[in-house]
Amino acid sequence: MESLSLIDPNWREKYAKKITSRECALSRIPRGAKIFIGSACGEPQHLVEGLIEHGSMIADAEILHILTLGVAPYADKKFSTLFRHNAFFIADNTREAVREGRADYTPVYLSELPDLFKNRKIRLDAALVQVSPPDRHGFVSLGISVDVTRAAAECARYVIAEVNENMPRTLGYSFLHVSQIDAFVEHTSPLIEYASPAADETAMRMARIIAQLVEDGSTIQIGIGAIPNAVVPSLMSKNDLGVHTEMFSDWMMDLVEAGVVTNRKKSIHKGKSITSFCMGTKRLYDFIDNNPMISIHPSEYTNDPFVIRQNDKMVSINTAVEIDLTGQVCSDSIGHLFHSGIGGQVDFVRGASRSKGGKAIIAIASTAKSGEKSTIVPFLEEGAGVVTTRGSVRYVVTEWGYADLHGMTIRERALALINLAHPKFREWLLDEAKRLKYVYQDQQLPKRSEYPKDLEDKDIFDGRMVSFRPIKPTDERLLKDFFYSLSDETIYMRYFSHVRLMPHERLQEETNLDFENKLTIVAMNADSEVDQIVGVGQYGLNPSNNTGEISVSLRDDWQGMGVGRKLLGMLVEAGKKRGLTGLTGYVLPSNRKMLHLFLAFGFASRYDASEEAYFLSLDLEEVRDRELKKEALAAPACDLPYQSDKG
């Protein structure tokens, strides 16, 4: 390879001399060579097909690449004496060869693979790449696949470029000078196109949950699979999203055209979507051609966790094969059978986890094999590889909800993941968790199967954001912390006695609810970096008269801000929707603020000498009647048609 000359007035002459036939170019590859092939939709198919035709001249070669979507004849059993395939990421067309032992799999982070080329730990004798025609300065673009292909082209002893007029000229760090390439084979053909799998209802449910975690102004990374198709419609209501990802497909273009992705709020590379390779349709390839909004860089940059973390509110979205109850994530194998690869999952989990306001999300459907197998398991299947460790995992999403496992004990993780599993597997998972001593031996299953999302809300109090939601079984530690944060006076006002302890048995009873016989809504300090309960409102059902006994308690430093009013209002609305006839409660005479709060909501009061407290009651049927009359009065008048006395 010639030394690089950025200014070379004679580049056209040199380029012309390097143009050759496919046969001639491939004939220069020695026997036993290690040959890198360009990635994904950027695979140089014309050159790959030539490898087979001239395989006898390139005998005993090792073929190396990451994801390939094009032809892979070298993985065919009949060519096993000529080629040995080495995959850094396993695709459909090479999976059988790997599983049968006719091909190799090298697990490696994409961010670190280029260094293996550069330090010659993986020797490259030849690199086959696909490029755009040279521009007026003598530079060709690697187009839709820069990823590790650039490093391979820079490190290989001999580089052949398939020049395709259909390859878009992408911007960023995607260019090679003609002096960096040894042979050019001109061949125009359609680029490989990729269509994401159609999203089913399970994927759509997960997508809606994921969208809740993506804030306006976030920078996103989305992996391969059905999830991108599902997530994009759920993100259409977002504003000023940015993109920093290892791969994007048509989803990125859809979000740009909808005005959702602007890249204006990014911390680095403002105004630009960053990626290392593209997989999509011709429409996408036309969109990225000479588009200054799109900047394509090598994997050692896009996947560097240090670079990723510089994006504030970085959200990574990746998938998995199975997750055990301690949080270990397997995503590259099914038991002993290697299925895909490590890819960039860990790179982006690390980067997003360290980003200011970032979220690393693992999305997984709760079942596999048509619902016959749980993907949340007591322990990983024998031979399964841990890609994201239990120390690195953060958010886990299934179609049943999400949980942030970071900072949770094994007991809390097990409960959170059981709560995300399909309901028909939860009892089995709890029994296994008890057998493994992960949870209390008296631990109960959640009494509900469907999370009451209608009870979620947000509001601002004295400039601080507070989120309101139903209590969860995994809130046991948070509720315990809330109790011990209360002053003795507040505890006495709430329980009418000096309660000193809040043991597991009572906490489990308070957090494991069915939301029909007992409803609890917690107020969370949304501005805190750690989860904090600052208020609790609840009612317990009295089946004899269909009324709920209500109580509201607040942390001392959050009293007098309006949080209690919000909680009480939510409980009243919940009671009305759930058909309760009324709400009742007791308040000590000394608790003047709480007494005034209940009275302001229309509760009737009378002093109960036996309890030495005021008994408060609200007739919800009367409230409903008043609201119906108010709606009727507010409705526009309906003019009756004229009717004569004669009929």
Q: Is the dihedral of CA 9, 12, 13, 18 positive or negative?
A: positive
Q: Alpha-carbon distance 55 to 216, whole Å?
A: 53
CA distances 94 to 83, 289, 338, 435, Å, are: 13, 30, 11, 40
Provide the CATH number for the domain around residue 40. Answer: 3.40.1080.10
Look up residue 3 and give its DSSP letter: P
User: Does 155 share its domain with 237?
Assistant: no
Q: Which helix (H) or strand (E) holds 413?
A: helix 410-420
In the chain, the number of structural domains is 3
Residue 228, domain member (yes or no)? yes
246 is catalytic: yes
User: Does 407 share its domain with 274?
Assistant: yes
Residue 447, domain member (yes or no)? no
Which one of 435, 465, 486 terminates a domain? 435
Cβ partners under 8 Å of residue 506, min gap 6: none
Torsion on CA atoms 242, 248, 253, 255, rounded to nearest 10:
-40
Q: Alpha-carbon distance 467 to 454, whole Å?
A: 13
Selected catalytic residue, list 246, 322, 412, 476: 246
User: Does 471 share its domain with 518?
Assistant: yes
Residue 3, domain member (yes or no)? no
Q: Over 50-73, what HEC string results?
A: HHHHCCCCCCCEEEEECCECCCCH
Q: Which helix (H) or strand (E) holds 306?
A: helix 305-308
User: Does 398 share its domain with 257?
Assistant: yes
Q: What angle do CA 626, 628, 630 make, to 5 degrees?
A: 70
Residue 22, domain member (yes or no)? yes
Provide the CATH number for the domain around residue 614. Answer: 3.40.630.30
Mean pLDDT of 350-374: 96
Do the Cβ atoms of 557 and 595 come closer than 8 Å? Answer: no
User: Does 486 share its domain with 589?
Assistant: yes
- The helix/strand/coil state of 582 is strand
Mean pLDDT of 520-530: 91
Q: Alpha-carbon distance 479 to 475, whole Å?
A: 6
Q: Which helix (H) or strand (E) holds 314?
A: strand 314-319
Among 257-271, 369-383, 511-525, which stretch is predicted with the lowest mean pLDDT? 511-525
Residue 94, domain member (yes or no)? yes
User: Does 367 share its domain with 505?
Assistant: no
Owner of token pair 């058909």? 579
User: For the range 514-520, what are the long-range contacts, defined as Cβ-Cβ under 8 Å and sequence gap of 24 or more?
Assistant: 514/447, 514/448, 515/448, 515/452, 515/455, 515/470, 516/541, 516/578, 517/541, 517/543, 519/455, 519/470, 519/548, 519/571, 519/574, 519/578, 520/470, 520/471
Buried b (16+ CB within 10 A) or exposed e, 345-373: bbbbbbbbbebeebbbbbbbbbbeeeeee
Amino acid at 102: R
CA atoms within 13 A on the CB side of 72: 32
Q: Alpha-carbon distance 161 to 181, whole Å?
A: 7
* Residue 356 clears pLDDT 80, i.e. is over it: yes
Cβ partners under 8 Å of residue 138, min gap 6: 8, 11, 12, 15, 177, 178, 179
- The pLDDT assigned to 470 comes to 93
* Residue 463 clears pLDDT 50, i.e. is over it: yes
- The pLDDT assigned to 55 comes to 67
Mean pLDDT over each residue of the chain, to the nearest integer: 91
Residue 193, domain member (yes or no)? no
Amino acid at 647: G
Which one of 186, 211, 237 terminates a domain? 186
Residue 490, domain member (yes or no)? yes
Q: How does residue 631 score in pLDDT terms, banded at 50, 70 and 90?
A: low
Q: What angle do CA 240, 241, 246 make, to 5 degrees?
A: 155
- The pLDDT assigned to 166 comes to 98
Provide the CATH number for the domain around residue 281. Answer: 3.40.1080.20
- Higher-confidence residue of 620 and 450: namely 620
Q: Which helix (H) or strand (E) holds 359?
A: strand 359-363
Do the Cβ atoms of 335 and 379 come closer than 8 Å? Answer: no
User: Does 428 share its domain with 462?
Assistant: no
Phi-psi region of 143 (alpha: psi -120 to 50; beta: other; left: phi over 0): left
Q: Alpha-carbon distance 218 to 269, whole Å?
A: 13
User: Does 399 share its domain with 460?
Assistant: no
Mean pLDDT of 361-378: 96
Token pair listed for 487: 């002053």
- The pLDDT assigned to 637 comes to 47
- The pLDDT assigned to 452 comes to 80
Looking at the DSSP bridge assignments, the partners of residue 140 are: 176
User: Does 392 share its domain with 329?
Assistant: yes
Give the residue numbers spanning the domain of 318.
201-435
- The pLDDT assigned to 450 comes to 65
- The pLDDT assigned to 72 comes to 74
Buried b (16+ CB within 10 A) or exposed e, 172-200: bebbbbbbbbbbbbebeeebbebebeebe
The β-bridge relationship of strands 613-619 and 604-608 is: antiparallel
Residue 146, domain member (yes or no)? yes
What digits encode the pLDDT tens for the residues 472-504? 888 999 999 999 999 999 999 999 899 999 999
User: Does 474 share its domain with 594?
Assistant: yes
Q: Alpha-carbon distance 238 to 91, whole Å?
A: 33
Residue 359 φ then ψ, to 5°: -140, 125
What digits encode the pLDDT tens for the residues 591-607? 999 999 999 999 999 99
Torsion on CA atoms 416, 421, 426, 428, rounded to nearest 10:
-110
Look up residue 19 and give its DSSP letter: B
User: Does 369 share its domain with 507?
Assistant: no
* Residue 6 clears pLDDT 70, i.e. is over it: no
Percent of the chain with pLDDT over 90: 77
Nearest to 493 by CA among 541, 548, 549, 555: 555
- The pLDDT assigned to 632 comes to 61
Q: How does residue 225 score in pLDDT terms, banded at 50, 70 and 90?
A: confident
User: Does 372 share its domain with 337?
Assistant: yes
Q: How does residue 638 score in pLDDT terms, banded at 50, 70 and 90?
A: very low
Q: Roughly what angle, to the nearest 10 degrees, separates helices 226-235 and 201-213?
A: 50
Percent of the chain with pLDDT over 70: 94
Q: Which helix (H) or strand (E) holds 16?
A: helix 11-18
Mean pLDDT of 387-406: 95
- The helix/strand/coil state of 331 is coil
What digits encode the pLDDT tens for the residues 108-137? 999 999 999 999 999 999 999 999 999 999
Q: Alpha-carbon distance 280 to 561, whole Å?
A: 52
- Higher-confidence residue of 449 and 43: namely 43
Token pair listed for 560: 């007098």
- The pLDDT assigned to 279 comes to 94
- The helix/strand/coil state of 337 is strand
